[in-house]
Structure 1
């Protein structure tokens, strides 16, 4: 079955900027024009099936598990066409004069990466560092060299290797000016990719990390955006997208509820939250407390992630949710499977509600946030899955499909995450 065509359309979204430079006293908000990327930016490939999306999600989960065991800008639904992964992208510029890229947003990663000229295994769109007057490669003595994974010296410069999805990325640690919607961030530290090995599973035009570590956008632009950002991801079915990424505390929504962000020093990039229960219909599902408990030593708990499409729950949690969902559907409902989804029904059907219960707030999921439907509309599936059996995962991952049309506010200085319903489609 093919993914609905709008799911693999890449849409640029209006973004709002809260500041224009480091010296600004009165922040301003800038609105960028909406673009449909289908024709001007990329030729649409063959659509992915739900099963292929699930497969890519599993590679994403493997990456997240590896982490455990060891102003306004244009966002677009990246999917397969532009970033070679099911995620969201923003338009960013690197260098002087600026070179434009569609960079994937990743809330579970820190460092930014850009494919550079001469890169082995990289796509055609690359950063020409030799054409930027503000570009420089960092040496091995630079303090930032100790902040990247597996650093090593290559002809005196700092290099590093990192595994992302199923690919191994080799990059030189570099600095240059990054521009986000008119805001210059000079001396931004990022990886200039020189080689990619393995399957092509990394964003083709680069990645911008929104994690909590020292090399993330949150940390490197702290003086500008005060470690605060929010986003609203639009529905994949929306004809007119108005989703947005807001950078900085100015203009963020005020009257919303928050849940604490939990700190895990061993996994400092990840945004852990305390998911305390899940309701299906009016019933709180019987889940073993240990399956939801935060544990900084093992990495167990629940994270918010922008790069995974469908929410993954550890086996005891998923089975409890799935079984109650099936029970609510009634004994006469004909359950079937579709790709990696094991709870599917022929329509029309009556769907029970699902509520994620966090410490301090509840998030009611509209049906579009927990159901996928076949292109013919004849089958509907619960759009969640258990962590793969072959992965020793202790993470529950609240993914982008479940985040649609909600404003997620990451208030790092106050260690809290705000979530509220917002129709950004």
Structure 2
């Protein structure tokens, strides 16, 4: 029956094309009498299937992640990107709260020369890349209407940028168009040495925490919602869908993976993004401690000026508005008393614990719209702060925000 259906389809196509017949010679992909290994056929089929599926779901690009959320060790996550021709590696911090990818330029003044992260810092030199070109002021992307980063025209007709982050640090420089090299995965096939032209920043000036050598990296990898973020640029070229995953390991060794493209995982539960927001805002609806919902008015997570809760990998800790933070701390303290001794250390709510925190502290869940919940173990919301009189001091990693908006960091 399967063969009959195929013949009927072919016959139907033949009838339609009788009026104008075009003869196209066909050649064998493999010799008729030659020996062909099965894995050769499988590899050829997989490559074909990946091309067929590319237009439907796009590819996947993997970036390995280093670093940890522990502020006493690293306090940031970073990955490697390959830029230029020939490609050079740069260590860049992952930041979902900003848009552009930028790396330190060879002409940068007073920029860090070394890093406390045990990595070798690099400088991007446009003259050393055969594919690099400057973005002129006449380019449409240099228009302030195109993106939120402030732009201006330099005396040399280069499209320049200036950007300030939430912690007060900042960077300025000029835009470059050059190759981003990566290994793409299409279906079950890996396509090595893939590349795409992207726009990124070449930083000639940095200020604030960006100049500190203890956590210095080569730049910042912005994954925001703007048109100049790498995820948006690759999506506009049909290389990956406009989706990415940021998976972070919670143990002491840290690390994780950044994936550009769709991941097929049946256990994923989706929560919609708040529309018309410059960042990745989710609707946090409630918090539960040990399975009990806290008495928090859901409206405190949605203000009139900036709705929702921001997810920002560039922020290390979590920040809750006061109306949510106070009930959270009260519930934690009530659950663990009198097994531990509550104390305040440098303005933070801490506890002196003589046993394992996993045996004493309760699980916590952050509940979002559409039934998505983030389950937190004690080690996920507590930070070890030191040792005192035979006990370990653990502090709540959530910080209080008076007014403003809640932010979930790395």
- TM surpasses 0.5: yes
1:286 aligned partner = 295
Per the alignment, do residues 139 and 340 of structure 1 end up closer, same or farther by CA in structure 2, a change over 3 Å counting?
farther
TM-score (norm 1): 0.70
1:197 aligned partner = 207
Is contact 1:171–1:192 with CA below 8 Å preserved after alignment?
yes
Q: 2:65 aligns with which of 75, 96, 110?
A: 75
Tell me the SS of whatever aligns to 1:252. Answer: coil
Q: Residue deviations 1:321-355, cap 9 Å, x none? A: 11121122235742112345223233336212211
1:16 aligned partner = none
Q: Distance in 2 between matches of 1:378 and 1:148?
A: 45
Q: Any gaps of 5 or more consecutive residues in structure 2?
A: 1-45, 114-121, 184-191
Please provide the CA RMSD for this pair: 3.0
1:408 aligned partner = none
Is contact 1:347–1:380 with CA below 8 Å preserved after alignment?
no
Q: Distance in 1 between matches of 2:345 and 2:58?
A: 44
2:361 aligned partner = 351
Per the alignment, do residues 395 and 183 of structure 1 end up closer, same or farther by CA in structure 2, a change over 3 Å counting?
farther
Q: Distance in 1 between matches of 2:311 and 2:233?
A: 21
Is contact 1:111–1:216 with CA below 8 Å preserved after alignment?
yes
Q: Distance in 2 between matches of 1:80 and 1:194?
A: 30
Q: Give every structure 1 segment of 4 or more consecutive aligned residues whose post-TM-superposition deviation is greater than 6 Å.
A: 27-31, 78-81
Q: 1:380 aligns with which of 394, 400, 409?
A: 394
Q: 1:208 aligns with which of 221, 224, 231?
A: 221
Tell me the SS of whatever aligns to 1:225. Answer: coil
1:315 aligned partner = 322
2:18 aligned partner = none
Per the alignment, do residues 271 and 337 of structure 1 end up closer, same or farther by CA in structure 2, a change over 3 Å counting?
same
Q: Distance in 1 between matches of 2:265 and 2:286?
A: 26
Q: Distance in 1 between matches of 2:194 and 2:68?
A: 24
Q: Distance in 2 between matches of 1:103 and 1:191?
A: 12
Q: Any gaps of 5 or more consecutive residues in structure 1?
A: 1-18, 32-70, 401-425
Task: Give the deviation of 1:176 after TM superposition.
Answer: 0.7
1:160 aligned partner = 161
Is contact 1:294–1:302 with CA below 8 Å preserved after alignment?
no
2:129 aligned partner = 132
Task: Give the deviation of 1:210 after TM superposition.
Answer: 1.1
1:48 aligned partner = none
Is contact 2:148–2:226 with CA below 8 Å preserved after alignment?
no
Is contact 1:148–1:160 with CA below 8 Å preserved after alignment?
no
Q: Distance in 1 between matches of 2:313 and 2:208?
A: 23
Q: Distance in 2 between matches of 1:79 and 1:289?
A: 27
Aligned positions of 1:205-284 closer than 5 A = 205-222=218-235, 223-238=238-253, 243-249=256-262, 251-264=263-276, 267-268=277-278, 270-284=279-293
Is contact 2:112–2:216 with CA below 8 Å preserved after alignment?
no
Is contact 2:362–2:377 with CA below 8 Å preserved after alignment?
no
Q: Distance in 2 between matches of 1:176 and 1:206?
A: 16
Task: Give the deviation of 1:203 after TM superposition.
Answer: 5.3
Task: Give the deviation of 1:219 after TM superposition.
Answer: 0.5
Tell me the SS of whatever aligns to 2:273. Answer: strand
Q: Residue deviations 1:283-325, cap 9 Å, x none? A: 2111133211254xx1142011111221110111111111121
Q: Distance in 1 between matches of 2:123 and 2:396?
A: 39
Q: 2:90 aligns with which of 98, 101, 117?
A: 101
Q: 2:336 aligns with which of 329, 338, 341?
A: 329
Q: Residue deviations 1:63-108, cap 9 Å, x none? A: xxxxxxxx22111116799xx9722111111101111111111111
Q: Distance in 2 between matches of 1:29 and 1:226?
A: 6
Tell me the SS of whatever aligns to 1:110. Answer: coil
Deviates more, 1:102-111 or 1:255-264: 255-264
1:117 aligned partner = 106
Is contact 1:301–1:394 with CA below 8 Å preserved after alignment?
no
Tell me the SS of whatever aligns to 2:127. Answer: helix
1:403 aligned partner = none
1:54 aligned partner = none
Per the alignment, do residues 30 and 256 of structure 1 end up closer, same or farther by CA in structure 2, a change over 3 Å counting?
closer
Is contact 1:322–1:343 with CA below 8 Å preserved after alignment?
no
Q: Distance in 2 between matches of 1:283 and 1:169?
A: 45
Q: Residue deviations 1:113-158, cap 9 Å, x none? A: 1111111122332111110011111111211112252211112111
Tell me the SS of whatever aligns to 2:200. Answer: strand
Tell me the SS of whatever aligns to 1:324. Answer: helix
Is contact 1:78–1:104 with CA below 8 Å preserved after alignment?
no
